[in-house]
Amino acid sequence: MLDLKFVRENPDVVRASQVNRGEDPQLVDSLLAADEKRREAIKVADELRSEQKAFGKKIGQAAPEERPALLEGSYELKAKVKEAEEAQKAAEGQVEEIQYKISNVVEGAPAGGEDDFVVMEHVGEPTTFDFEPKDHLELGESLDLIDMKRGTKVGGARFYYLTGDGAFLQLGMMMLAAQKARENGFQLMVPPVLVRPEIMSGTGFLGDHSEEIYYLERDDLYLVGTSEVALAGYHMDEIIDLNNGPVRYAGWSSCFRREAGSYGKDTRGIIRVHQFDKLEMFVYCKPEEAEAQHQALLKMEREMLSAVGVPYRIIDIAGGDLGASAARKYDTEAWIPTQNTYRELTSTSNCTTFQARRLQTRYRDENGKPQVAATLNGTLATTRWLVAILENNQQSDGSVVVPEALRPFVGKDVIEPKK
């Protein structure tokens, strides 16, 4: 959520951010009005509590014959205090309700929606072939790497099996990412994939896109769509030590998405599925360090994409396509030859203090005073990468060249059709 003091002092900035996102700027005015009402309620309650305290002293000093009448008055005052405290609680609840509806303030992202991103850079030339290329599913099935038919039989649409070398390709990719994360000071974590509602809400995922999330009603738990959620909750209600620099984690987990509203989109293959594996970087830092950390996460994503040798581009996501918690987000998109376009492989978001304020994750400044931390996240590898790896490295005989960085994990240089 946003800092109330920031909203009071910069209402036009927050309104402009809401407009950039295509969201309601009037929420800012509603929040300011609710905050004014809350402060007035606090003032009334404080004054009545002070009056009650003074009245209590008066009773203690009164003569015995005076006390019955004074006690009668104290009961009336007690009722007023209770009423004022209930009004304060209601006013505070109203403020929090509106706060949770306002997304993070956009920082530098272009205005517009899903199609209004800005291309920052192209890396590598789109792959071309002197033969008709196969798509990733045809390759995956002919090389015994992917089994969609049995995945559908067992789990339903958008489920699959990775088999044989397909499983090793994914494990190799994830291990390469894990090693790279550790080399860059990240602590590897295998976090829970089920989280409590306050964790999911605290990270900003229960807003407009809550239909994307699997909810286990009997247990009141959510399946995560990214280990960002569990890593953000790791230090909930804690004061962490940032004196020696940012705290970095890399979460390796299975992830789950309902893909609600995506019917008919990317139904072929493993581009848009309900379950996948992902290694997600997560950083806690001081707010003034967040922008530099964002660039560092993007640099690691670049290095990982270069290691698997696929052409890609980097885009600056428009405000209307940002998640509620992100102030700015960069995506990397790999070239997919059979689709003749680029498709998202990674994203990295600067969430500033938005998530940590909701989750009460703080650090101590140089004066020992608690301050709200900033959080960032970024993908270092995920199942979807197999789409780009297979399609860009295929050969005319139907084989696929294994990227050099993955060969130690896969155990071969080329994956060939079964004879």
Indicate the annotated binding residues for L-serine: 226-228, 257, 280, 377, 379
Edge to edge, the sheet with strand 239-240 lists 239-240, 362-364, 370-372
Q: How far apart are CA 364 and CA 370, in angstroms?
A: 4
CB atoms under 10 Å from CB of 348, counted, come to 28
Q: What region does 245 belong to: left with phi over 0, alpha with psi -120 to 50, or beta?
A: left
Does the active-site annotation cover 347? yes
CA nearest 108: which of 286, 290, 338? 290
According to DSSP H, which parts of 184-289 are helical? Answer: 197-202, 228-233
Out of 85, 344, 399, 407, the active site residue is 344
Residue ranges for the known binding site for ATP are 257-259, 273-276, 344-347
Out of 272, 302, 364, 407, the active site residue is 272
* CA 348, 224, 179, 373 torsion-angle sign: positive
CA nearest 362: which of 287, 277, 291? 287
Q: How far apart are CA 327 and CA 353, in angstroms?
A: 10
DSSP helix/strand/coil, 315: strand
Q: Dump the DSSP string for 177-201.
A: HHHHHHHTTPEEE---SEE-HHHHH
Does the active-site annotation cover 67? no
In this structure, the dihedral spanned by the alpha carbons of residues 110, 328, 192 and 384, taken in order and rounded to 10 degrees, is 50
Residue ranges for the known binding site are 226-228, 257-259, 273-276, 280, 344-347, 377, 379
Q: How far apart are CA 133 and CA 131, in angstroms?
A: 6
Tokens of 279: 């290694």
Q: How far apart are CA 181 and CA 193, in angstroms?
A: 20
Please say whether the beta carbons of 352 and 327 come within 8 A. yes
CB atoms under 10 Å from CB of 387, counted, come to 26
Out of 21, 158, 248, 257, the active site residue is 257
Measured in Å, how far apart are the chain's first and last C-alpha atoms?
Answer: 58
CA nearest 281: which of 257, 298, 258, 256? 298
Does the active-site annotation cover 272? yes
Within 13 A of 199's CA, how many CA atoms are on the CB side?
22
Out of 17, 103, 253, 347, the active site residue is 347
Instruction: Give every CB contact of residue 324 below 8 A, 6+ residues apart in sequence.
Output: 103, 104, 204, 205, 207, 208, 354
Question: Which residues are catalytically annotated?
Answer: 257, 272, 344, 347, 384
